[in-house]
Homo-oligomer: A and B are copies of this chain.
Amino acid sequence: MQIKKASIRDVAKLAGVSTATVSHVLNNTRVVTPETSDRVWKAVHELDYHPSTIARSLVTQKTTTIGVMVSDIRNPFFTDVVRGIEDIFNASGFNLILCNTDESEEKANLYGRVLLGKRVEGVILAPTGHAVELIQDFISQSIPVVLIDRRPPECIVPFVGVDNIAAAYESVSHLVDDGHQHIGLVSSLMTSSTAQDRIEGYRRALRDAKISLSDELIVSFDGISTVVSAENVVRELFRHPHPPTALFTLNNLLTIGALRAINDLGLRCPEDVAILGFDDLEWASMFTPPLTMVRQPTYEIGTTAASILMRAISGEDITNEEVLLPTKLIVRDSCRPGGHSGNN
C-alpha cells in the first residue's frame, strides 16, 4: 500500500539516472550498460513502478485499444465473435472496450463519442439501423472501422459476414423440398441488412418454387432479440387462419422462442410444424427435437474482422476488403422429409 503511485521520475531519482534512461531501459529502445540497466530495474521493483499507459499514449498517439460494438454480448453469435476478436488483438497487446448497444442508435452514438474520446485505434461494429453517421464519425477521425454481420447498403466499409441471401435461399428451399407450402418467417429487427437479406433469400426461394408470398406469414419485432419476444410473436402467427407448417427463424434466440411457442400451443415439432433456424447453437443437437440450423462461422468472423482491422491499424489500405465466409446447413429432426402430414 502506498500513498502515491511511483512515476518515472521517482525511478530515475532512485536509480540515479535520467528519465530518458529509465524509459529506454523499460522499452529496450537503446543500449545501456548492464549496470545502469540493473539499477533501473531494481528501482522499478523497489518502487513497484508501473508505467502509465495513459501518459505514454498521450505522446505516442497510440492507445493499443479498440472498440467493439455489438447489440448484446449475450447473443451467442456475438459472444463467439467477440472471443475471436479478443484472441487476435490480445496477441498483439491490444485491449477491447466492449459496447452493448441494445439495437439503440442512441446508445450506439453515445458509445461512439466515448470511443472517439478514448482515442481507440480502430472499431469493429455490428451496426444498428442506419449507422452511417456513426461510421462517418470514425472515418473522419481516420479511425479504421470493420463492419461485421450487418452492412448498411449506403457505405463502403470493410465487411466480414456471410452471404445471407444465399444461405436463406438454401434453407427455405430445403423446407420446400420437404413439401412445405406455408412457410412462416420470424425476424427481430426487420430493418437490419441481415434480416433484409435473409428475407430476400426467403422470397426468392418461394418465388422459384412458385409458391405465392404472403406478408402475413412474416412476423417481427423491434429491439434486441430475446427468446420471450420471439415466443410472443410466433404465438401471434398461429392465430392466422392458414397457419404455417414450417418456420424459418432468423437467428438462434428466435429459434428457441419459436420452439417454445409451438410447444405451448400444443403443437409438435416437426410433425405439426417444422423449424429451421439461422445461427447454430453448440448443443442444438440435444434439443427436443434436434434443431436444423444454418451454422455461421462465428469465431472466424471475429478473427477475420480483427485481422483486417489490425492490418488497417498497421497502415495498410483495407478500404475494399469484403469477406463472405461460408455457412453450413445442418439438417436435424426439427424439419423432416415428407413435410407435415396433417390438417387442412
Interface residues of A (CB under 8 A from B): 1-2, 5, 48, 50-55, 57-58, 63, 65, 72-74, 79-80, 82-83, 86-87, 90, 93, 95-100, 113-114, 116-119, 139-142, 227, 256, 259-260, 263, 282-283, 286-288, 290
With contact pairs A79-B74, A114-B95 given, residues A1 and B139 touching in the complex (Cβ less than 8 Å): yes
Do the beta carbons of B117 and A53 come within 8 Å of each other? yes
Do the beta carbons of A86 and B100 come within 8 Å of each other? yes
Give CA–CA (A199, B286) in the complex, Å: 27
Give CA–CA (A1, B95) in the complex, Å: 26
Give CA–CA (A194, B5) in the complex, Å: 34
| A99 contact set on B, CB distance < 8 A | 95
Instruction: Across the interface, name the chain B residue whose C-beta is closest to A287.
Output: B286
| A90 contact set on B, CB distance < 8 A | 100
Q: In the complex, given contacts A54-B57, A286-B287, what are 6 additional A-B residue pairs having Cβ atoms less than 8 angstroms apart?
A: A54-B58, A65-B97, A86-B100, A93-B114, A286-B288, A287-B288
Instruction: Across the interface, name the chain B residue whose C-beta is closest to A116.
Output: B50
| A283 contact set on B, CB distance < 8 A | 227, 256, 287
With contact pairs A113-B50, A117-B53 given, residues A98 and B86 touching in the complex (Cβ less than 8 Å): yes
Instruction: Across the interface, name the chain B residue whose C-beta is closest to A50.
Output: B116
Output the least CB separation between A133 and chain B (Å): 12
Give CA–CA (A142, B93) in the complex, Å: 24
With contact pairs A96-B98, A140-B1, A288-B287 given, residues A52 and B119 touching in the complex (Cβ less than 8 Å): yes
Pick from B82, B287, B290: contact of A73, CB under 8 Å: B82
Pick from B63, B117, B282: contact of A256, CB under 8 Å: B282
| A50 contact set on B, CB distance < 8 A | 113, 116-117, 141
Do the beta carbons of A227 and B53 come within 8 Å of each other? no
